[in-house]
A and B are shown apart, each in its own frame.
Chain A
Amino acid sequence: MTETPTTTAMSSWLEEAWLGRYLDRALSPDERDWFEAYMLDKVHLIEQVEVDNALRDAAHAAAPLSVAPDRPAEPGAPPSRSPRRHLARVLALAASFVLGVGLTWIGFDRLPSGVPASNPTRIVYDTLRAQASPPLVERGDPQAPWIIVDIAVPSGAQILSAQAVVAGEPTMLPIPAVSSEGFATYLLPIAWQGRTKLRFDLRLHGRTEKTELELMF
């Protein structure tokens, strides 16, 4: 695309063409800079950028968007890496990290011994974001002594404290790092399943007040 001075208006169809490429993130850096300067005071263009911004923000607030397809993909569609599989790999890395941290933290005699299985069951809680939804369970090795618990954390939230109440006995958990995907991940003993509450204190968007959340698994 050839550039015009930013204060000279383009025809509508040309504006739409530029905007379409801008929103698709298909402009070069120079083109992007020029078009952003062009549209700064053009409300009809800014409105569409705001919609796209809102869509992006909502996507992150609602993540994970598509845990599993509920309808089959189109016949003939080439196989592709699903977002969930990508996420699983990230979470596996996160779990490995937490395990490393956890082994120093998990010095309790009630924890099972043994090497964690390579494919433990994973439970994904999306309760802390947007609409309430049941946890997603990805069955793994039933012999695994561990279980991976992924908790989707609201965008902009900070975990202040975490606690597990096992059979009525509270135990402080380490504060996990939130992944770039917005998940906090714990590797917990399988023996805890069904008799443990997980409690989190969160701070949302800089608010000083805490929000206590309770998850059963």
Chain B
Amino acid sequence: MTTVENRDDSSTESLQGVLERIATGDRAAEAALLTRFQRGVRALVVRHCRPGDVVVDDIAQDVLSAVLVRVREGGIRDAQTFPAYLQTMIVRATTAEYRKRRARGESLPIDVADGLPDRSDPPADLDSQRMAAQLRNLIADLPVARDRALLSRFYLEEHSKEDICVSMGIADDHFHRVVHRARVRFRALLAQAGIVSLAGRDK
């Protein structure tokens, strides 16, 4: 890596200050920390969970709560290491959740839903259905069947990029181009459909 810009120095210093203030009991600083990281934490929890898992918000909240307690106690003082600590907490929490399910002999997210309180969320369900519909449109619009298969394998069957490229006989750059275009197009379709809540948070 040769090109590094220090355009984020101010936020680094700010984060350092936020951590220090939290350790002194500053509740406003706690709010600032949560505002800064909660969206990223949720996105990564989603990333590490199975698709559509209902436990995402619980895990994200647990991670943020645990980290906040740790900062309050003065256990995390270095802003340089804070993001890595937070990321580790996310990975551990999601791993622990699925390990727990395996130990209980559960294999599907729906099993966990049994033990959770009722969390009916019609708007989120509606968004999910609309997103699925938009994805069908996107897939249907792809002119090349091979690209449709590529997207299906990558997002539905979750094959690795390498496996897909080898088995379908396509180059890395073609793979990236197809997937990248799909993301761009999908985002546009969601915007057209008025679905601005990509993560259920940013309506």
Contact = CB atoms under 8 A, between A and B. Distances in A.
B3 to A, nearest CB: 5
A73 B113 contact: no
A159 B150 CA distance: 31
Interface residues of A, number: 78
Nearest to A83: B152
A158 B113 contact: yes
Interface stretch (B8-16, B20-28, B68-76, B96-104): B8-16
Nearest to B33: A41
A129 B51 CA distance: 15
Interface in B87-117: 87-88, 90-91, 107-111, 113-114, 116-117
A71 interface: yes
Nearest to B199: A50
Contact of B1 (A3, A36, A48): A3
A56 B132 contact: no
A51 B187 contact: yes
A7 B87 contact: no
A53 B40 contact: no
B41 interface: yes
B168 to A, nearest CB: 5
A46 B29 CA distance: 22
A80 B40 contact: no
Interface residues of B, number: 88
A86 interface: yes
Contact of B139 (A34, A65, A81): A65
A109 interface: no
Contact of B167 (A43, A81, A204, A207): A81
Interface stretch (A22-30, A94-102, A188-196): A22-30
Given A40-B44, A58-B134, 11 more contacts: A38-B83, A53-B46, A55-B135, A58-B131, A59-B151, A60-B52, A71-B143, A80-B168, A205-B113, A206-B120, A207-B118
Interface of B: 1, 3-9, 11-12, 15, 36-37, 39-41, 43-44, 46-47, 51-54, 79-80, 83-84, 86-88, 90-91, 107-111, 113-114, 116-121, 124-125, 128-129, 131-136, 139-140, 143-146, 148-149, 151-153, 155-158, 160-162, 167-169, 175-176, 179-180, 182-183, 186-187, 190, 198-199
